[in-house]
Each structure stands twice: as structure tokens, then as C-alpha cells.
Amino acid sequence: MAEGLVEAGGKVHCLDILPEPVESFSCARERINPEHGGALEYHQADVSNSEDVDRVIESIASENKRLDGLIAAAAIQQCTPALEYSSTDVARMLSVNYTGVLLSARSCARQMYKYKIQGSMCFIASMSGTIANRGFISPVYNSSKAAVVQLTKNLAMEWGRLKEDGSGGIRVNSLSPGHILTPMVEENFRKGEADWKVWEENSMLGRISTPEEYKAAGLFLLSRASSYMTGSNLIMDGGTTAW
Ligand SMILES: NC(=O)c1ccc[n+]([C@@H]2O[C@H](COP(=O)([O-])OP(=O)(O)OC[C@H]3O[C@@H](n4cnc5c(N)ncnc54)[C@H](O)[C@@H]3O)[C@@H](O)[C@H]2O)c1
């Protein structure tokens, strides 16, 4: 998604808890054509730590005197039956999957208000925010994603109106993908927590998706192409929740 925004001329800053970006980030950076005018930068930040998030977001906004959009995608996964889930693990998961989205969003919204930018945000929820995946035991992850869908609606309502001073008018939507082949899911397969064949069968298209298939959705949600869309949850799940 970051790559898609760069190709459209965006200056994109990726935040992740890892000290160094993963290889796919470097590959994306090498593919970038400077003629598009975009750029791809990396910053280490823990989205569950408000000081960390505010520090990075504030510095990006003050350097550019604007901040146009946010894609909040950081999340963690843990497959543990509800009967065995420790309260520490519940708090850890919510601190990233829910609080992390809220902290990132409000940090960006503060800058959008400050620089009077009618920005747009996309929270990465999941189809798991609306369904229980058959046979996949992840009660806290799934409910954390339901919380993201609900947060989307509330922040859309709070920040949607344009004020007389020209601030506000911020749009907030969520995106609910289906199964995507990413390191998170590879780990689920490796640990035997999920079955590839079953996940393929879950989809009406009979396959698992790839990250590239969400590129256009990111661009759509962050650009003026979706100018009359806010408080919505865009489901792109190969039909998994439709049957
Ligand atoms: N893979 C899927 O099938 C699938 C389906 C639906 C939704 N999603 C959602 O898509 C998003 C991306 O997931 P993914 O599959 O690429 O997972 P991933 O594990 O491959 O990537 C998640 C990233 O979040 C980072 N992260 C974790 N904790 C963090 C923290 N505290 N601060 C900052 N960064 C942190 C990780 O380092 C990692 O780079 C997540 O929100 C996930 O819930 C994934």
C-alpha cells in the first residue's frame, strides 16, 4: 500500500517497531522511480507508546508543514483458546491492535487540525472483525479488529465536520481484508494454527490473497477518489464473509 502511494507521488513514512525495516521494504524502495516524485522513509516506533508515536508524527508533519493521510496497519496475532488466555496477553494484544490505532490516529489528526489539512485515514481491520474464522482460535485478535471497525465510525463522526477556520473535514474508514499471505499468516501455517487448504476454501475465489491486491484500496481510501466516503468499512475478502 505504501508503494502504491509512492507511485502516485506521495511522500510515505513507514513506522514499525523493528529497529530496521524488513527486506520487502528495501525491495520496494529500490523499485521506486524518482520521476514519480514520491519517497519512502522508515522510522522505528512502537504504536502502543503515545510519546513514541507523537514524536515521530510531529517531526514528519513539521518537516513537511502538512500531513495528509494515515494507514494504521500494525497488529499482532495470537492463537490461544479463550479459556486459557491470560489477562496480560489480552492487554498486550489490545495495546497494539486497538490502542495503537487510536494513538496513531489522534496523533495524525492533531497535525491535520494544526496544518488545516482535510486528511484521510484508513485503519486496517479484518474480516475477522465481523466473523469467527471457522476453526481458527483467535478470540482476542478478532474482537480487537471489531473494535477497530467501531472506532472508525466514532472518529469519522468526531473529525468529519469542516470548521470555520478551515480545519477538520478529516475522513476515517477501515479496510477489512480476507486472508493475505504475509509473515503473520506464514507463521500461523508454520505453527499448524491454520490450514492452507481450508483458508483457500473459505474464499469464493478459492485462494488466499497477496498484499499487492490491496494497493489500489489504500490509494482509493487516502485520495480524493473516496471524497464522500467516511465511517465505512471496505470489505475485500474474496467473498469469505458473503456466503
Ligand atoms: N495477513 C492477513 O491474512 C490479514 C488479514 C486481515 C487483516 N490483516 C491485518 O493487516 C495488517 C498487517 O498484517 P500482516 O499480516 O502484514 O502482519 P505482519 O505481522 O506481517 O505485519 C505486522 C507488522 O506490525 C509490526 N508491529 C507489531 N507490533 C508493533 C508495534 N507495537 N508498533 C509498531 N509496529 C508493530 C510488526 O513488526 C510487523 O511489521 C494487520 O493489521 C493485520 O491484522 C492481516
| Tens-digit pLDDT profile for residues 140-197 | 999 999 999 999 999 999 999 999 999 999 999 999 999 999 999 999 999 999 999 9
157 and 121 share one domain: yes
- CA 213 to ligand 1 center in whole angstroms: 16
Ligand 1 centroid – CA 161 distance (Å): 31
What percent of the chain shows pLDDT beyond 70?
100
Clarify whether residues 178 and 221 are in a common domain: yes
**Which protein residue's CA is at the shortest distance from atom 31 of ligand 1?**
46
pLDDT (tens digit per residue) in 40-85? 999 999 999 999 999 999 999 999 999 999 999 999 999 999 999 9
Residues 6 or more apart whose CB falls under 8 angstroms from that of 34 comprise none
One domain for residues 87 and 29: no
Number of domains making up the chain: 2
Q: Are residues 60 and 175 in the same domain?
A: yes
If asked whether residues 2 and 98 sit together in one domain, one would say no
Same-domain check for residues 133 and 38 = no
Predicted structure pTM score: 0.98
User: How far apart are the CA of 35 and the centre of ligand 1, in A?
Assistant: 30
**Full domain range(s) for residue 112:** 45-242
Distance 40 CA to ligand 1 centre (A): 19
Q: Atom 30 of ligand 1 has which residue's CA nearest to it?
A: 46
141 CA: nearest ligand 1 atom: 43
Is 145 among the catalytic positions?
yes
Let me know the angle formed at the C-alpha of 105 by 173 and 88, rounded to the nearest 5 degrees: 105
* CATH, residue 132: 3.40.50.720
Q: Which of 79, 127, 144, 180 to mutate to test the pocket of ligand 1 (most atoms within 8 A of CB)?
A: 180
Is residue 182 within 6 Å of ligand 1 at its C-beta?
A: yes
Are 108 and 24 in a shared domain? no
On whether both 21 and 82 belong to a single domain, the answer is no
Return the C-alpha torsion angle 193, 139, 150, 189, nearest 10: 0
DSSP track, 37-99 = --EEEEEE--TT-HHHHHHHHHHHHHHHT---EEEE---------GGG--HHHHHHHHHHHTH
Catalytic choice (11, 42, 115, 141): 141
